[in-house]
A and B are shown apart, each in its own frame.
Chain A
Amino acid sequence: MSCSGPVSELPSLSAALDALRRNEVSSEELVSELLRTIECWNPTLNAYVYVNSEEALACAREADARRRAGDPAPWVGVPIGIKDNICVRGQPCTCGSKILKSYRSPYDATVSRRLREAGAVFVGRLNLDEFAMGSSTETSAWGPARNPWDVDRVAGGSSGGSAAAVAAGMAVAALGSDTGGSIRQPAAFCGCVGLKPSYGRVSRYGLVAYASSLDQIGPLTRTVRDAALLLSVLAGRDPMDSTSLDVPVPDYIAAVDQAPDDLRGRCIGLPREYFAEGIEPDVAQAVKAAVADMARLGADVVEVSLPHTHYAVAAYYLIATAEASANLARFDGVRYGLRVPSEDVLEQYERTRAEGFGQEVKRRIILGTYALSAGYYDAYYLRAQKVRTLIRRDFERAFQQCDLLLTPVAPTTAFRIGERISDPLTMYLGDIFTVPANLAGICAISIPAGLDSRGLPVGLQLMAPALEEARLLQVAHVVEQTRPRLPRPPLASRASGGSPA
């Protein structure tokens, strides 16, 4: 098989489920094809950090046998890629960090267990920023994931491996995690769909915590319907996660399949703070085009205000890093992971953590520790939590005026590898449109809006109130139909593309 041609046509999750159910394809065929594509393109994209070909094929054959024996489970034999911070029993879980280089999880995350029980096959582990701390997958100890639309550019982050794999046909669908935009922003950069469920909708048990009060697991897929399919397996109360909510899970697939053809009766809010300075003209243009289409479909478009948006990044980086400083304390070389041996325990901790963690992780641990330490708690951490309340209230007020909010996902399209990595603050500021949803705990989705003038995907973000995923997915599906269908990504460098302003 040639690795220079276009990406092989791999089915969407919906199509794969249908084809398997109708016996048009076997799981073994599907997984084999997938593995060939991975083998072909992963050296270029670095989306997977680990591929368990043999185990995946064995599982696929077993799934085929189950299906032949009449197992009606719809997911039997469907390959799914998992971000490398979500535990799968017996598989590595490096979190993109040297400190967990040789770690294998002895247990399944709840989402992994649910997928396993539904019959899914785990193909491999997807690249990410180290411990999900980053917006470009450049902080991964295993090298950056590359963008299928221009391999000199970042795939976004932290779920860059998941987004790149889905966009490049190296995964039918994938799981990511979103703490401040880590599903939505890479989905936007790579031209796929990324859903951050409401806080508490999906169990976090087995997701290696970055910032516990903000983290959520969610799907990265080719289509909104695929996201609905995957969410219907992931969602629901888990007795192992105290913060997973005990509320009914609506039928997301029905919400999408029964979506009307238009948006009449839907009120879409455009928060003016999200269209202020700093947005690339192409991004603004893509969002405006979508707004026009939505209005044409009968949506009521109103301008709203989320006045504290400007403070979201500051509040987010204080809260997230404070929680992270405690969450990452367990990596000490005592029970698992890297150990840099020393004769003194304290020195062993310090050497192990200095050697095991990368620069960005250490930077965030330092910031978070500082924000919590004696004398600074009130001024930084507590104040950030109060601003979090203000941001939550902004959304409560906005959702009294509209059903959903429409915004860009990021101010720019994918930037060049190396362009921002040495400038943490600029990198953080790129998260301005995604962190508010995490702070407020609401749900949000990123869908492709089109391509910019350089041929790079632009994302649209829709946000809905907490637990309103059905509404979010339904409207996202309608909007998705109005967007131009993206061509297949070139999987090459666009050396001619100019750098962003």
Chain B
Amino acid sequence: MNEHTTCSEDLAAEVRRVAKLARIYVSEDDVAQWTRDLGRILEYVRQLNELDVDSVEPTAHAIPVANVMRDDEPRPGLPHTEALSNAPAARDGLFIVPKIIE
């Protein structure tokens, strides 16, 4: 992981890139703040490198179960008005968003 010990300028670029992926608008102040925070946190979490985990299986779930499934049976959903009740904008039964250019 040492190759990821980035200088703050590179890290600032990473913050911008990641914020874009996460769809969060960032001001220059945010970038400065988060670059500092992220730098410190990454420095801290890099201590995980001290451990040899090559032969260790990752844990994605704390529970050892599989095959939890439901039968293909219909269940009542939300009444139409409730489905749209929290919509910031709705018309003709649709959630309205700015025009999407595909």
What CA separation (Å) do A335 and B47 show in the bound complex? 41
Q: A245-B63, A370-B18 are in contact. Are A382 and B51 (CB under 8 A)?
A: no
In the complex the two chains form, is B1's CB within 8 Å of A365's CB? no
In the complex the two chains form, is B62's CB within 8 Å of A239's CB? no
In the complex the two chains form, is B38's CB within 8 Å of A366's CB? yes
| CB-based nearest A residue for B33 | A359
What CA separation (Å) do A69 and B34 show in the bound complex? 60
Task: Specify which of A213, A242, A440 is in contact with B68 (CB 8 Å cutoff).
Answer: A242
In the complex the two chains form, is A366's CB within 8 Å of B44's CB? no
Instruction: Name the distance in Å between A323's Cβ and chain B's nearest Cβ.
Output: 10
Instruction: Check B58 for interface membership: any CB of A closer than 8 A.
Output: yes
Instruction: Check A120 for interface membership: any CB of B closer than 8 A.
Output: no
Instruction: Name the distance in Å between B68's Cβ and chain A's nearest Cβ.
Output: 4
B8-36 near A? 1/0 per residue, CB < 8 Å: 00000011011101111110001001100
Instruction: Check A117 for interface membership: any CB of B closer than 8 A.
Output: no
Q: A213-B60, A342-B98, A386-B58 are in contact. Are A353 and B24 (CB under 8 A)?
A: yes
Instruction: Name the distance in Å between A100's Cβ and chain B's nearest Cβ.
Output: 9
In the complex the two chains form, is B61's CB within 8 Å of A373's CB? no
In the complex the two chains form, is A337's CB within 8 Å of B88's CB? yes
Tally of contacts, chain A with chain B, CB under 8 A = 166
In the complex the two chains form, is B97's CB within 8 Å of A354's CB? no
In the complex the two chains form, is B95's CB within 8 Å of A335's CB? yes
Instruction: Check A388 for interface membership: any CB of B closer than 8 A.
Output: yes
Q: A106-B78, A318-B45 are in contact. Are A337 and B23 (CB under 8 A)?
A: no
What is the number of residues of chain A that contact chain B, defined by CB distance less than 8 Å? Answer: 75
Instruction: Name the distance in Å between B43's Cβ and chain A's nearest Cβ.
Output: 9
What CA separation (Å) do A328 and B70 show in the bound complex? 26
Q: What is the predominant secondary structure among interface residues of chain A facing chain B?
A: helix
For chain B residues 28-87, which have a beta carbon within 8 Å of chain A?
30, 33-34, 37-38, 40-41, 44-45, 47-51, 53, 56-63, 65, 68, 70, 78, 82-83, 85-87
In the complex the two chains form, is B45's CB within 8 Å of A376's CB? no
In the complex the two chains form, is A239's CB within 8 Å of B70's CB? yes
What CA separation (Å) do A366 and B31 show in the bound complex? 11
In the complex the two chains form, is A367's CB within 8 Å of B57's CB? no
Inter-chain contacts of B91 with A (CB < 8 A): none
Task: Specify which of B1, B22, B86 is in contact with A103 (CB 8 Å cutoff).
Answer: B86
What CA separation (Å) do A336 and B89 show in the bound complex? 9
Inter-chain contacts of B38 with A (CB < 8 A): 363, 366-367, 370
Instruction: Check A210 for interface membership: any CB of B closer than 8 A.
Output: no
In the complex the two chains form, is B25's CB within 8 Å of A351's CB? yes
What CA separation (Å) do A61 and B30 show in the bound complex? 51
A356-392 near B? 1/0 per residue, CB < 8 Å: 0101001101110110010010011011111111101
Inter-chain contacts of B33 with A (CB < 8 A): 359
What CA separation (Å) do A239 and B45 show in the bound complex? 37
Inter-chain contacts of A387 with B (CB < 8 A): 48, 51, 53, 56
Q: A353-B23, A366-B15, A382-B58 are in contact. Are A339 and B89 (CB under 8 A)?
A: yes
In the complex the two chains form, is B34's CB within 8 Å of A441's CB? no
Instruction: Check A75 for interface membership: any CB of B closer than 8 A.
Output: no
What CA separation (Å) do A346 and B24 show in the bound complex? 10
In the complex the two chains form, is A199's CB within 8 Å of B63's CB? yes
Instruction: Name the distance in Å between A479's Cβ and chain B's nearest Cβ.
Output: 26
Instruction: Name the distance in Å between B101's Cβ and chain A's nearest Cβ.
Output: 9
Segment with Cβ contacts to B, from A8-16, A186-194, A309-317: A309-317
Task: Specify which of A380, A389, A424 is in contact with B59 (CB 8 Å cutoff).
Answer: A389
Task: Specify which of B65, B70, B82 is in contact with A106 (CB 8 Å cutoff).
Answer: B82
What CA separation (Å) do A359 and B36 show in the bound complex? 13
What CA separation (Å) do A311 and B21 show in the bound complex? 28
A405-434 near B? 1/0 per residue, CB < 8 Å: 000000000000000000011001000000
Q: Can you spell out 9 A-B residue pairs with CB atoms less than 8 angstroms apart?
A: A213-B62, A239-B70, A314-B44, A335-B87, A344-B98, A347-B25, A387-B51, A388-B58, A428-B41
Q: Which residues of B contact A (CB under 8 A)?
A: 1, 4, 14-15, 17-19, 21-26, 30, 33-34, 37-38, 40-41, 44-45, 47-51, 53, 56-63, 65, 68, 70, 78, 82-83, 85-89, 95, 97-100
Q: Which residues of A contact B (CB under 8 A)?
A: 102-104, 106-107, 199-200, 213-214, 239, 242-243, 245, 308, 310-311, 313-315, 317-318, 325, 329, 332-339, 341-351, 353-354, 357, 359, 362-363, 365-367, 369-370, 373, 376, 379-380, 382-390, 392, 424-425, 428, 438-441, 466
With contacts A200-B62, A379-B1 known, what are 17 further pairs, Cβ within 8 A? Answer: A106-B86, A199-B63, A311-B48, A313-B44, A325-B22, A333-B88, A335-B86, A350-B23, A362-B34, A369-B22, A389-B56, A389-B58, A390-B51, A392-B59, A392-B62, A425-B41, A441-B63
